[in-house]
Chains A and B, each alone.
Chain A
């Protein structure tokens, strides 16, 4: 009976992990052909873009490349967009870091939400920040604001409403998730902690051992320190450089 319960619990946990893993799957929104971003930065930016997509139904991709190869910048942008998403509504901004040029491709209703002026303000925000990560993050912040306020072609602070007075575009609940990578890590930590706790309890079954010292038989007040010396020998200083954000220039 215990074995069955144990098997059921383990099976349930495995199923739960699959459910979590399915829902935790994240699409790639930031494509870094130029290798300017760290994996953790990409993960954070992807998470941000995924949140935007979940809330407004619009996919916002950002690609950093060094050259577009044999194709034109426009072809490169549309090709990359279709390579990375099936969503009809979306936008991709491609930054050619080698030629210092931008190309933008919009699809579906993204045209309504991102005018040329809006896209300009997004690329300006990207340019203004010193780091690639900061630039893309600022770009996504603006994209979210445009989508949230439902403005097209104007600036964020304009008061004229879009879509005949509709305040927001997209009605879905904001969602987010934790990467599946954390599931085995969590389980591993859990198993380690569980093993330590249970073994600590089990070790109490052994109560026979030699005494380490005779401190309990010390005559009260009998300890007198007659000599004491604390001599400094030497010291080491270790210097570790702090991690820095990459500068795109």
Chain B
């Protein structure tokens, strides 16, 4: 058995949760609020290690790989979680528990951005997100049901560096003129070169294989100025995972974004041309540093026609993303109707101009 941590209310002994509205820990039973700093992060009376001996069949070799088993401090129920789960809910008593070992030692996050928005805000954002979209199948609006909503602290690696790079571009200038007999077009080609330095701060890369990378990058950016030093108390009431993608494994994605930033930023300094096309870029990253942080994300799962749809909301800024199905028949109809209308209007206008 592994060890778990529950934040207990000193008044009534109930499991406390982090309240994003007041940015404090709050006991849902007696409504007492506590500052994060007032709550000891890890004390001996809060940590309990229970060893259980199985009387039934034994797990075979390798069967328990990737599974961790914990015992709930409140009810003693057995919590089975995967190897990366850092905070979850007891399936028997509903108490929020934090797997202490997942965030200790080298695995301890440097920073955490606490949730600013609650579950209600996430639900409202989902409604708004769907209602503002066009050509959503009617049955999706009527039949899709919110299967699950969970606040998750998603592990991210934050990369800070100074990038030294160069980029080359091919540019084109077009000049036109005419005389009595001919129209002339002169196209001039140029080879452009730029080199320089750019500093980057805290480029995030998703450190969890459970979370789709595109979904996590879509809810960016997070405001890191509101990040605080990690404290397990912030995890109370939410789910959390420890990273299962290392910083080294995340670096290529950070480098890819840095390289593209160099190309795009240097391109903005190439002016006075009609067309500019990148031909290549090189870069060296210096003074590279990385940090481990937990970012707050609300995940909402809905089901429609047997298909799962996952939406995500930035738990700090409220940015909401998620793909919505499109009614292809409605799109075709609307395209034909609008097209016919525009066509008729063009023809009518031609008649009008002709008659005038």
A interface residues with partner B (beta carbon < 8 Å):
2, 6, 9-10, 13, 16, 20, 175-178, 182-183, 186-195, 197-199, 201-202, 204-219, 222-242
B193: interface (CB < 8 Å): yes
Since A194-B339, A222-B162 are in contact, a sample of 5 more A-B pairs with Cβ atoms closer than 8 Å, ordered by chain A residue number, is A199-B335, A201-B135, A208-B323, A228-B194, A238-B187
Contact B339 A208 (CB under 8 A): no
Bound CA–CA A228/B336 (angstroms): 51
Q: A183-B347, A218-B200 are in contact. Are A208 and B322 (CB under 8 A)?
A: yes
Bound CA–CA A194/B345 (angstroms): 12
Please encode chain B, from 324 to 339, with 1 for each CB lying within 8 Å of some chain A CB and 0 for all others: 1110000101111111
Bound CA–CA A226/B166 (angstroms): 9
Bound CA–CA A229/B337 (angstroms): 52
Contact A205 B185 (CB under 8 A): no
Q: A206-B323, A222-B197, A225-B269 are in contact. Are A240 and B183 (CB under 8 A)?
A: yes
Contact B190 A222 (CB under 8 A): no
CB neighbours of A6 from chain B (8 A) = 333, 336-337
Please encode chain B, from 111 to 140, with 1 for each CB lying within 8 Å of some chain A CB and 0 for all others: 000000000000000000000011110000
Contact A207 B199 (CB under 8 A): no
CB neighbours of B182 from chain A (8 A) = 239-242
Contact B220 A189 (CB under 8 A): no
Bound CA–CA A207/B136 (angstroms): 14
11 pairs, CB–CB < 8 Å, chain A vs chain B: A6-B337, A182-B350, A187-B340, A202-B326, A205-B134, A213-B261, A214-B203, A227-B195, A235-B188, A239-B183, A241-B182
| A179 CB → nearest B CB, Å | 9
Bound CA–CA A245/B95 (angstroms): 90
Bound CA–CA A208/B266 (angstroms): 27
B91: interface (CB < 8 Å): no
Q: Which 10 A/B pairs are nearest by Cβ-Cβ distance?
A: A190-B343, A194-B339, A191-B339, A222-B199, A190-B342, A219-B199, A187-B343, A194-B338, A227-B195, A214-B257
Contact A242 B181 (CB under 8 A): yes
Bound CA–CA A176/B184 (angstroms): 38
Q: A9-B340, A202-B326 are in contact. Are A230 and B185 (CB under 8 A)?
A: no
| B150 CB → nearest A CB, Å | 18
B294: interface (CB < 8 Å): no
Contact B190 A217 (CB under 8 A): no
The total number of A-B Cβ pairs within 8 Å is 229
CB neighbours of B143 from chain A (8 A) = none
B interface residues with partner A (beta carbon < 8 Å):
133-136, 162, 166, 171, 178, 180-203, 212-215, 217-218, 220-221, 254, 257-258, 260-261, 263-266, 269-270, 321-326, 331, 333-347, 350-351, 354-355
Contact A219 B201 (CB under 8 A): yes
Contact for B321 among A20, A202, A208, CB less than 8 A: A208
Contact for A231 among B190, B266, B322, B342, CB less than 8 A: B190
CB neighbours of A205 from chain B (8 A) = 133-136, 323-326
| A192 CB → nearest B CB, Å | 7
| B283 CB → nearest A CB, Å | 12
Contact A182 B347 (CB under 8 A): yes
CB neighbours of B335 from chain A (8 A) = 191, 194-195, 198-199
Contact B261 A214 (CB under 8 A): yes
Bound CA–CA A202/B134 (angstroms): 6
Q: A198-B331, A227-B196, A236-B187 are in contact. Are A204 and B260 (CB under 8 A)?
A: no
CB neighbours of B350 from chain A (8 A) = 178, 182, 186
| A194 CB → nearest B CB, Å | 3
Query: Which residue in chain A gives the minimum CB-CB distance to B266?
Result: A225
Contact B202 A217 (CB under 8 A): yes
Contact A188 B334 (CB under 8 A): no
